[in-house]
Amino acid sequence: MAQADTAQPSTAPKGSRIPGVGGWGRDGRGRSTWRRGWVLAALALALGLLLIFHSDIPNSVGNLGSLVETFLPWAGLAVPVLLVLGLLRRSATALVVLLVPVLVWFNLFGALLTDKGGGSYDFTVVQHNVNATNSDIPGTVATLEAAKPDVIALEELSVNQVGTFRKDLAAAYPYHVIEGTVGLWSKYPLSDSEPVDIKIGWVRALRTTVATPHGDVAVYVAHMPSVRVKFDGGFTANQRDNSAEALGEALAAEKLSKVVLLGDLNGTMNDRSLAPITAQMRSAQGSAGAGFGFSWPAAFPMARIDQIMTRGVTPTDAWTLPQTGSDHLPIAAHIEL
């Protein structure tokens, strides 16, 4: 006699498995992959909206908008986190909505990931906040000179450092000007040098004319006031913002057609508060560099607050130099005059 079939019928809900993809069907509550993960989807959408409407975040409360814009590229780190959580939750809804911040982030910053350098050049510039407590001046000079620049702009020069920089740079850069705590060393003659008033009560910016073989170039060196993040006051950047307006006015009044701005602006190109400057100048890193070119803090760079910007000339390459005794990385650019 044949034995009776004792196998129990399956109690799993119909459609609980998709062949070849375990766990992407219905969960224990009977919800499909499209009906779960709504919280993750909402977080992904919120990230996308933050990237799209970052310029609408008000600065009236602790300069929150500028703070967000300073570190805006790092918002992309939330994408792989949400991706992993979406996969673990097996939520098709979350994964589809995650495309919103991915596409917006690449629209904002994708161009920075490609190498745009390599064109011809006839002028090389280096910019560095040397840090007033930097004790390795010879090593710093060696790093800066290794880029073979035609001009070197330095900020945060202390009284104790100036003499050493003058002596160590004199052989290769016979022309220099120092105004307050900023200076420029050049292979070519300088003229019409003067401080630029950026409304902070002491001199932290200058303007000079560099007589290059390809014509006169107006070079500005600036060190914007520092910003701070405080729990009781938010992003304290008002003094920096006022200085940006003053420097923007000076740049707008410049009579020479070829202009280069070198400086620690204590702000990124995304920061709306630097618009008086960024609206009329071109970022060397953005137009000719590769990657984000973060320059601060040197030990673990998170933002590019040091800038090389141009007007009337063409940046053809931009890069960061190795770490010195400063808390900023030096930056450099090739320029076609």
Delineate the domains of the chain, giving CATH numbers in brackets. 38-112 (no CATH), 114-336 (3.60.10.10)
Predicted model pTM: 0.85
Beta bridge partners of 185: 152, 176
Q: Is the pLDDT of residue 199 over 90?
A: yes
Supply the mean pLDDT for the chain. Answer: 90
Write down the pLDDT at residue 257: 98
Q: What is the pLDDT of residues 264-303, one digit of tens each?
A: 999 999 999 899 999 999 999 999 999 999 999 999 999 9
Q: Is the pLDDT of residue 217 over 80?
A: yes
For the chain, give the percent of residues with pLDDT over 70: 90
For residue 318 the two structure tokens come to: 């931009």
Q: DSSP per residue over 101-136, as a string?
A: HHHHHHHHHGGGGS-------SEEEEEEE--TT---
Question: Mapping DSSP to helix (H, G, I), strand (E, B) and coil, where does residue 206 land?
Answer: strand
Polymer length in residues for the chain: 337
The residue type at 30: G
CB 293 within 8 A of CB 268: no
Average pLDDT of the residues in 188-196: 98
Half-sphere exposure in the Cβ direction for 329 (13 Å, CA): 21
